[in-house]
């Protein structure tokens, strides 16, 4: 994977169709949030896919046999740099939007921000960590205007 061909540090790929408008402003927003966390964006690839595609990745790489909305792969080789892939299931995003009574657009951005926060170093294994990452997601959604 190479995103540098377009001179963009953040690239989007669509293996499943989804509506993501204002990609350039989203790129700028994410890069600015990463800077505010004291890090630099090297390369970030956000791939939108189906449940089945993500389930296969989950089984193959993480040995998990369940559906999820996002899988984050961190490729950073040096501290202070963000480099990774975010695989996002559009099917899960739509289902979660229904379950949580929110819009698909807001849920899609929440999941994108969630993945970026993982690359920054936020975790969600404990209740305390879940609360902290959710608070940060909410802050970013608010700052992004959602």
**CATH code, 90:** 3.40.390.30
Model confidence pLDDT, tens digit, residues 37-57: 999 999 999 999 999 999 999
Beta carbons of 31 and 9 less than 8 angstroms apart? yes
Between CA 86 and CA 77 the distance in angstroms is 17
Please list, residue by residue across 9-46, b when 16 or more beta carbons sit within 10 angstroms of its beta carbon and e when fewer do.
Answer: bbbbeeebebebeeeeebbebbbebbeebebebbbbbb
* Per-residue pLDDT at 1 exceeds 70: no
- What are the tokens at 32? 């600015």
The whole domain housing 107 covers: 4-144
- Model pTM? 0.92
- What are the tokens at 135? 């608070």
pLDDT of residue 42: 95
Residue 41's beta-bridge partner residues?
A: 82
pLDDT of residue 19: 85
How many domains does one find in the chain? 1
- What are the tokens at 96? 């979660």
pLDDT of residue 35: 96
How large a percentage of the chain has pLDDT more than 90?
89
The dihedrals phi and psi of 5, each to the nearest 5 degrees, come to -60, -30
pLDDT of residue 7: 55
Model confidence pLDDT, tens digit, residues 83-132: 999 999 999 999 999 999 999 999 999 999 999 999 999 999 999 999 99
pLDDT of residue 8: 78
């Amino acid at each position: 994977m190479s995103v540098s061909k377009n001179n963009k540090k953040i690239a989007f790929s669509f293996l499943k169709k989804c509506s993501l408008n204002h990609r350039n402003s989203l790129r700028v927003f994410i890069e600015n949030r990463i800077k505010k966390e004291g890090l630099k964006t090297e390369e970030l690839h956000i791939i939108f896919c189906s449940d089945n595609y993500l389930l296969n990745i989950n089984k193959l790489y993480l040995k998990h046999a369940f559906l999820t909305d996002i899988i984050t792969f961190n490729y950073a080789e040096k501290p202070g740099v963000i480099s990774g892939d975010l695989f996002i299931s559009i099917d899960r995003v739509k289902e979660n939007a229904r379950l949580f009574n929110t819009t698909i657009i807001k849920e899609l951005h929440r999941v994108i921000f969630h993945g970026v926060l993982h690359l920054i170093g936020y975790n969600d294994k404990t209740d305390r960590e879940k609360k902290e990452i959710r608070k940060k997601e909410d802050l970013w959604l608010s700052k992004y205007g959602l």
